Structure 1
Amino acid sequence: MKRFSASLTRTKLKRPLDSNHPLLCLVDSCKSMDQIKQTHAQMITTGIILHPFAASRLLKHLTISPLPYPLSYAHLVFDQIPSPNLFIYNTIIKAHAPTTHSSHNSLLVLRSLLRNSSPLPNQYTFVFVLHACCYGLGVLEGEQVRVHAIKLGFETNVFVTNVLIRMYANRGSVEEARRVFDWSTERDLFTWNLMISGYVGSSDLVRAREIFDRMPERDVVSWSTMIGGCVQVGLFTEAMELFREMLLTGIAPNEFTLATSLAACANLVALDQGRWIHVYINKARFKMNERLLASLIDMYAKCGEIDFASKVFFNEHSPKRTVWPWNAMIGGFAMHGKSKQAIDIFEQMKVTEIAPDKVTLLALLNACSHGRLVDIGRQYFKSMSSIHGIEPGIEHYGCMVDILGRAGLLKEAEEIILTMPMAPDTIIWGALLGACRIHEDMEMGERIGKLIREREPNHMGCNVLLANMYSESGRWNDAKDLRDKIEISGKKKTPGCSSIELNGTFHQFLMGDRSHPQTKQIYLFLDEMAIKLRIAGYAPEIGEVLLDLNKEDRETALSRHSEKLAIAFGLINTAPGTTIRIVKNLRVCRDCHLATKLISKVYDREIIVRDRIRFHHFKAGSCSCKDYW
């Protein structure tokens, strides 16, 4: 819009303007767009809009008020100001910067400012425009702005440096962010934290740790970023070590630190440490919010304490206004095979009118899979788009393949894959191949295996699964040929690994492991345990040994599986009646499942095993999965 004439401006600005002018006070009290427009009209008719202070007061209210005023109106006000000062320019640039759809206006206003040559931009001008380049704009525009900042001597300014590091890191140019960091002559704590965050965002924990170790001082953000980064890439033990070190330095954790540390405990099944964090939250009187509550529920559920997770969820003081705690509880019940409870929670969630999201439905379908609830699973899958307005993703289709495949409905599972609206990946075909193995459908298994290998000739999971199927059906030559191909490819099969926590220390075991300091005791105990189990009726599932060995060698191989070593270690080192918790990275085999049921009965222990698929609660000779996993 055309600006008012310069002569009129000069006339009006001769009048002094009191900061307590009634119209200016009225601006601050506006509560709606209609009131703003009425006040703006009076400011125009009285002429005070031509005063920079009055214009900036109106513009400031429009851009920082919690009321949702349209930015287009603020920009219209800006265009009517005859001679904007730098504060006004910066206000409108800042207002446009964080909004993806209008961030380009920040750049346009900067260009207008540079063309006018007066006033000159200051450090805040460049910070606001570069902030827009972090989100709505891109690196190319940011580098153009950076050139102007250099010309005006602002590149070494710590605020400009910081936003440049953020811009490059956010846009994936972490190496350029590092160059800015290395060239900077001024650094504050925020500079160091931004560089760590950049490396964490690119999953480069080695270089993030290098920057972290060089920091002259650290705050809660520094520690939390490193802890979160470790959790992000699966370095859970390192995350817990950092958390302990942080507490020793005297820095109090924040909500994010606690939530990520609880995630590390959940993945390590470090129940004692998770409980300690829960006590700390209560003693430090942290305000329990939905994210922290969800982290606590998830930790207890993944540590095998599903009943306590339920108590935390149903606590009357637990906030449940968002979907996160509900998802954690549904997911917790699902992984423990408590399908009915998971469905009950979902139905309660609907009553509270909290809208489910994709995670909710994924957890619900998992619950149906573990509970053999085929028809209910079909209903929930259909309801995603028809009732909840959520288009199923490939992971939801994968759940349906799992539900149908586990139930032996292999043809229907294949039909789901062939009619998906997106191209199936090797993961979803692999789920069907796994179902073929469970139900011993060699014909379909070979066909699916061939299809996967055509897409990815060296797909390790497919080749191993198919080789195992050949072994189970006695086709030793076919199994050997496939294993030879795996060896030639140079890829290594993920070895079975089981871990157990004892007094805050994690002990890991591989199949046939002899590296543990207590190896001699463990193997002697295994021999004694084998005798007791045979008396109790144990007959080894030698079909689980997928090598062409004699009966005795197969039984020996079975007795050395990683979970049996971990259980033996737990029985040796804990008091009678103590619950033993084991984590395994692969699916529990049939023989270990059978043996663990008998161990729980013979030794009168509850044994909780979390494998790659779900939780198994072994007690008094039976398992919570009812032999369906």
Structure 2
Amino acid sequence: MSRFCSTLTKPFHSDHCCRLASLVDTCKSIQQIKQTHAQLVTTALISHHVSANKFLKLVADASLSYAHKLFDQIPQPDLFIYNTMIKAHSLSPSSCNDSLMVFRLLTRDSGLSPNRYSFVFTFGACGNGLSVQEGEQVRSHAVKVGLDSNVFVVNALIGMYGKWGLVEYGRKVFEWAVDKDLYSWNTMIAAYVGSGNMSQAKELFDEMQEQDVVSWSTIIAGYVQVGCFMEALDFFHRMLQVGPKPNEYTLVSALAACSNLVALDQGKWIHSFIGRGEIKMNERLLASIIDMYAKCGEIESASRVFWEHNAKRKVWPWNAMIGGFAMHGKPSEAIKVFQKMKVENVSPNKVTFVALLNACSHGYMVEEGKLYFRLMVSDYGIIPEIEHYGCMVDLLSRAGLLKEAEDMISSMPMAPDVAIWGAVLNACRIYKDMERGYRIGRIIKEMDPNHVGCHVLLGNIYSSSGRWNDARMLREKSEISTATKKIPGCSSIELNGTFYQFLVGDRSHPQSRELYSFLDEMTTKLKIAGYVPVFGELLLDIDDEEDKETALSVHSEKLAIAFGLLNTAPGTPIRIVKNLRVCRDCHQVTKFISKVYDRVIIVRDRTRYHHFKDGICSCKDYW
């Protein structure tokens, strides 16, 4: 029998190996994978390392636990098979311990010696989910076998330290390395970017003799990550002039910078750049373009781009469109997109429901919000996280259902944060629930004694109820602590590709004299049209009505709008971005400006978009 088998092994083995290899390539379900596995076992090809390794890679993509069982059944796996398992486990933070376990099997029990890939994949696992101690043990083994200076291993080490936030450890590895390639530089820059240290990242970038598209993209993404959007666009423009051709990741970051700056013209240029076929459109780029138009106030353009692209199998463009409608106060449109999403069999994720619940919150759709909060769990198996509870508390608070909002907070399986209590505190201010406001203010102060937003809201509540001494004492107490320095109101406007920023009471602009003269003239016209200042949110007890008006008139968005009126042609829409929530007086003023000066004014504040036209705001005074 053994002789018979030996005469047939070679032709049988070769023929079946090719056939099963092609069969492995066509597997599309776990059931087909199991059937192929059965054939590999019955034909004894499971012990053939080429077939086993190819099959193992396929199984690892479908089911790590199944792949590990398969690995345990392979007699005397070779180094490639060990590396396949180490890599498969390294990609999942929840199974990084298994990656290290396979590495230990390789080094202790197999009789084989790990190669550079073994260390690269294991360092990747250590960076993704293991401790410093375990990573250092693997590094010691790399030194032992003489691979610690290998450029692939060096790069993996730098990446591991970067993921842990131990950037200076990574820098030492980088400096000591005898051989460094472009990937080494990019990995070190990425480590600095990951830690938010953009000055060091830029310094290293400038030292490079050659930068590739990854180098540029990493720097641009880093500036976006830390909120330096102007710097991100400056680097993007430099890249277009002297660098390599941007790729998908570069453009996603550049579009994010445009979104945050409301740089519509530059965002449109990037869209047209993609449209010329320079870069292939994919679903991440599509989502970024939709998000850019929505955040630049062009929700109709965002919607048009969304519906023009039929191939939307991934969730990102859908989330961008639902989120866009939410921030523009169009809950019905957001819900229609969600319904279409279900028809197209695109599975929503937790981000989808954050956007959907936000849409309901801004649209005063309480019952709909409650429904989607329930469906998230019952129909989609998505467990609510603190962001979803925050949306529900905001929904109930905005609608004046303050007791229900507190009951929702009590039912949360996790501790509420300051932002959640802050939503209720803001509603207490709006709905004049002073007693509840004082109590919740005390809760927030116990959680974070130096929380600026709490002091501002509580001060507004004191002022609204005429408790000027309490408001003054709160302000003085805040000023004593440098940690509670209030973020100044800041509004920006883009004209002809240049950004202009205005602070409260700003007189630093070259046109200040003309600007303030125009403000006085504008206020007179608005009063004739029926404008009456809203003093409710002033923090100080100012007796003189004129002084009160002066305090309100220098708010940053009024300065930015006046600047826009002065420097654009009649009928031109004005787009403003404010870093804080629009106050009620500025909201009232902007409605009158849109009517008196016949302008469309689009204001993006910290919570949503306001479209002012003919004396009416799209938020219907509910924000």
TM-score, with normalisation over the residues of structure 1? 0.90
Equivalent residue number for residue 221 of structure 1: 214
Give the whole-Å Cα distance in 1 for the aligned partners of 2:582 and 2:72. 66
The answer to whether structure 1 residue 459 and structure 2 residue 451 are counterparts is: yes
Distance 2:119 2:404 in 1: 59
Match of 1:79 in 2: 75
Identity score, percent? 59
- CA gap of 1:513–1:77, structure 2 versus 1, over 3 A, is same
Cα distance 1:560–1:35, how it changes in 2: closer, same or farther (>3 A)?
A: closer
- Report if aligned partners of 1:127, 1:163 keep a CA contact under 8 Å in 2: yes
Q: Does 1:478 align with 2:470?
A: yes
Count of residues in Structure 1 that have an aligned counterpart in Structure 2? 604
Per-residue Cα deviation, 1:232-254 (whole angstroms, up to 9, x for no partner) = 12111111111111111141111
Kindly provide the amino acid, as one letter, of the partner of residue 467 in structure 1. Answer: G
Q: Does the CA-based 8 Å contact 1:433-1:448 persist in structure 2?
A: yes
Residue identity matched to 1:109: L
Equivalent pair of 2:398/2:427 in contact (CA under 8 Å): yes
Unpaired runs of 5+ residues, structure 2, are: 25-32
Give the CA deviation at 1:95: 5.8
| Cα separation, 1, equivalents of 2:122 and 2:498 | 50
Alignment match, 1:614: 608
Question: For residue 166 of structure 1, what is the aligned residue in structure 2?
Answer: 159
Residue 251 of structure 1 is matched in structure 2 by: 244
SS at match of 1:498: strand
Corresponding residue to 1:385 among 335, 353, 377: 377
Q: 1:37 to 1:537 in 2, by over 3 A?
A: closer
Letter in 2 for 1:302: K
Query: In 1, are the aligned partners of 2:82 and 2:102 still within 8 Å (CA)?
Result: no
1:599 corresponds to: 593
Pick one of 262, 283, 287 that aligns with 2:280.
287
Task: Name the CA distance, whole Å, in 2 between partners of 1:94 and 1:628.
Answer: 52
Q: Is the 8 Å Cα contact of residues 110 and 129 (structure 1) preserved in structure 2?
A: no
Deviation per residue, 1:362-396 (Å, 9 max, x gap): 11121112111222222222222223322222222
Whether contact under 8 Å (1:288, 1:319) holds in the other structure is no
Using a 3 Å threshold, how does the CA distance of structure 1 residues 103 and 628 change in structure 2: closer, same or farther?
A: same
Task: Give yes or no for the alignment of 1:515 onto 2:504.
Answer: no
Deviates more, 1:461-470 or 1:538-547: 538-547
Whole-angstrom CA distance in 2 between matches of 1:563 and 1:190: 45
Q: Structure 1 residues 151, 518: CA separation in 2 closer, same or farther (over 3 Å shift)?
A: same
- Whole-Å separation in 2 of the counterparts to 1:147 and 1:74: 30
Larger radius of gyration: 1
Q: 1:614 is aligned with what amino acid?
A: R
Alignment of 1:7-156 (within 5 A): 21-31=14-24, 32-35=33-36, 37-39=38-40, 41-43=42-44, 55-65=48-58, 68=62, 70-72=66-68, 75-76=71-72, 78-80=74-76, 97-98=90-91, 101=95, 102-112=98-108, 116=111, 120-135=113-128, 137-156=130-149
User: 1:264-343, aligned counterparts within 5 Å?
Assistant: 264-315=257-308, 317-343=309-335
Q: Report the CA distance between 1:104 and its aligned residue.
A: 2.7
CA distance in 1, matches of 2:19, 2:41: 10
Query: Aligned partner of 1:584: which letter?
Result: K
Partner of 2:429: 437
Instruction: Say whether 1:421 aligns with 2:413.
Output: yes
Which residue in the other structure is 1:189 paired with?
182
Task: Select which of 568, 574, 595 maps to 1:574.
Answer: 568
Q: CA offset at residue 58 of structure 1?
A: 2.8
RMSD between superposed Cα atoms in Å: 2.7
2:327 partner letter: M
Q: Is the 8 A contact 1:94 1:106 kept in 2?
A: no
Shift of 1:23: 4.6
Say if 1:23 and 1:39, in contact at 8 Å, map to a contact too: no
- Judging changes above 3 Å, is the alpha-carbon distance between structure 1 residues 345 and 21 closer, same or farther for their aligned structure 2 residues? closer
Q: Is the contact made by 1:323 and 1:354 (CA closer than 8 Å) also made in structure 2?
A: yes
Deviations 1:475-508 (A, max 9, x none): 1111111111111122211111110011111100
Structure 1 residues 504, 106: CA separation in 2 closer, same or farther (over 3 Å shift)? same
Distance 1:183 1:552, change over 3 A: same
Indicate conservation of the 8 Å contact 1:227/1:239, yes or no. Answer: yes
Q: 1:500 aligns with which of 486, 493, 502?
A: 493
Deviation of the 1:73 alpha carbon: 5.8
- Give 1:19 shift: 13
- Map of 2:29 onto structure 1: none
Matches of 1:445 and 1:538, distance apart in 2: 30
1:133-168 per-residue CA deviation (whole Å, 9 max, x = no partner) reads: 333654333322322322333222211111111122
Deviations along 1:566-603, whole A, 9 cap, x unmatched? Answer: 01111111111110000011111111111111111111
Which of 442, 449, 453 aligns to 1:450? It is 442
Which amino acid in 2 is paired with 1:110?
A: L
8 A contact 1:63–1:95 mirrored in 2: no
Amino acid at match of 1:107: F
Secondary structure class of the residue paired with 1:540:
coil
1:529–1:137 distance in 2 versus 1, CA, 3 Å: closer
Measure the CA separation in 2 of the matches of 1:25 and 1:181: 44
The residue aligned with 1:562 is 556
Per the alignment, residue 3 of structure 1 pairs with: none
Deviations 1:72-96 (A, max 9, x none): 4653465346xx5x66665665566
* Unaligned ranges ≥5, structure 1: 1-7, 50-54
In 2, the alpha carbon distance for the partners of 1:91 and 1:623 equals 59
How far, CA to CA, are the matches of 2:12 and 2:240 in structure 1?
Answer: 49
1:212 aligns with 2:233: no
Equivalent residue letter for 1:192: W
Partner of 2:346: 354
Q: Secondary structure at the match of 1:544?
A: coil
Deviates more, 1:88-97 or 1:340-349: 88-97
- SS across alignment from 1:534: helix
Q: Residues 154 and 326 (structure 1 numbering): CA distance in 2 closer, same or farther, change over 3 Å? A: same
Distance, in Å, in 1 between the alignment partners of 2:84 and 2:384 is: 43
- CA apart distance, 1:132: 3.8
Task: Give the drift of 1:415.
Answer: 1.8
Q: Is the 8 A contact 1:401 1:428 kept in 2?
A: yes
Residues 401 and 432, structure 1, Cα contact 8 Å, conserved in 2:
yes
Which residue identity is paired with 2:518?
F
TM-score normalised by length of structure 2 = 0.90
Contact 1:362 1:395 in 2 (8 A): yes
1:331–1:364 contact (8 Å) kept in structure 2:
yes
Secondary structure of residue in 2 paired with 1:301 = helix
Question: CA separation of 1:504/1:74 partners in 2, compared to 1, >3 Å: closer, same or farther?
Answer: same
Displacement of 1:105 = 3.8
Pick closer, same or farther for the CA change 1:344–1:443 going to 2, 3 Å. Answer: same
**Cα distance in structure 2, aligned partners of 1:429 and 1:210:** 42
SS in 2 for 1:542: coil
Q: Describe the SS at the equivalent of 2:193.
A: helix
Question: In the aligned structure 2, how far is the partner of 1:21 from the partner of 1:401?
Answer: 65
State the AA in 2 paired with 1:498.
S
Partner Cα separation in structure 2 for residue 373 and residue 450 of structure 1:
30
Query: Contact 1:362 / 1:399 at 8 angstroms: preserved in 2?
Result: yes
CA distance in 2, matches of 1:344, 1:479: 45
Distance 1:551 1:73, change over 3 A: closer
Query: 2:71 is paired with a residue of what secondary structure?
Result: helix
Q: Secondary structure of 2:75's match?
A: helix
CA contact (8 A) 1:26 1:39 kept: no
Residue of structure 1 equivalent to 2:28:
none
**Structure 2 equivalent of residue 4 of structure 1:** none
Superposed CA offset, 1:256-309 (max 9, x none)? 111111111111110001000000001134332221111111110110000111
